Amino acid sequence: MRCAHALIEDTACDQSVLADLAVNALIDEACLTPKPALVDRRGSGAHRDLDLNTMLRSARALRPTFLALARASVNAEPSQRLREQLARIGREGEVAMLRATGGSNAHRGAIWIVGLLVAAAAMNPASDPETLCSQAAAISRFEDRFAPSSIASTHGACVIQRFGVAGARGQAAEGFPHVLHAGLPALRDSRSKGASENAARLDALAAIIATLDDTCLLHRGGRVALEAAQSGALEVLQAGGASQREGYAALLRLDRTLLELNASPGGAADLLAATLFLDTLACVG
């Protein structure tokens, strides 16, 4: 297995290392190029208020948040008290993110998704991805009694109600199935076939997009955008993935299609970051 960051030593993961891995996962996801209609090294994709430098500032600003999440979870068990403590830290992280980005939402979903996995990893050092996802799910199922009322009116909440999809919270409660059964298998399968690391990560993203009811796509483009994204991502995979000429061409077609629809798979991007976090964690566990 290829470790994304060779500077991390092969020692037991302490809280500082977990925070670094989480930030690195966000940075790696942001820099991955070309992603369909998402911020990458080429530009802003379908996002007028974000660019790569903004995404990188946001990721680095979240290190204290991930560190606090890890520290709060050491020797803990899933409980309502822990859930509410992590939620408070996460909301403080959102404030730091918005400060770093000038008010743009770069990583709200990732704070929740990757943050839960950081907490699970602090609770269960050296555990396998399945165990970590199960522990993160157990935390997420507890109610946050102190959640602000504004949560009910977020774009994600409105999409969940309108389209009847699970959303990020449902994905967590189910144990991150698109990470375990789409992202990680596609990433590792592509590597085993000799794909470059960049191509393998693009294949992981395509595998997630192909099956995820992405609330970001639904919010910005409705069912039309979601179906276009899913079918386009499936074409990438059926053509052999991003390492193959036809697969790469299909990826670029998907990019053009989503740009025309002004919609991007932001939920899939967050789950790709989670995939990269768990994959790299396995290198140091």
Give per-residue pLDDT as tens, 96-136. 999 999 999 999 999 999 999 999 999 998 899 999 999 99
Structure pTM?
Answer: 0.92
Give the C-alpha separation, 20 to 24, whole Å: 6
Structure tokens at 127: 């555990």
Give the amino acid at 98: L
* HSE-up (13 A, CA, CB side) for residue 257: 19
Residue range 9-65, pLDDT digits in tens? 333 459 999 999 999 999 999 999 999 999 999 999 999 999 999 999 999 999 999
In angstroms, the first-to-last Cα distance of the chain is 13
Could you tell me which residues are beta bridge partners of residue 43?
40
Segments making up each domain of the chain, as ranges = 15-147+161-284
Which of these, 196, 267, 244, 245, lies nearest to 36 by C-alpha position? 267
Q: What is the CATH number of domain 15-147+161-284?
A: 1.10.4200.10
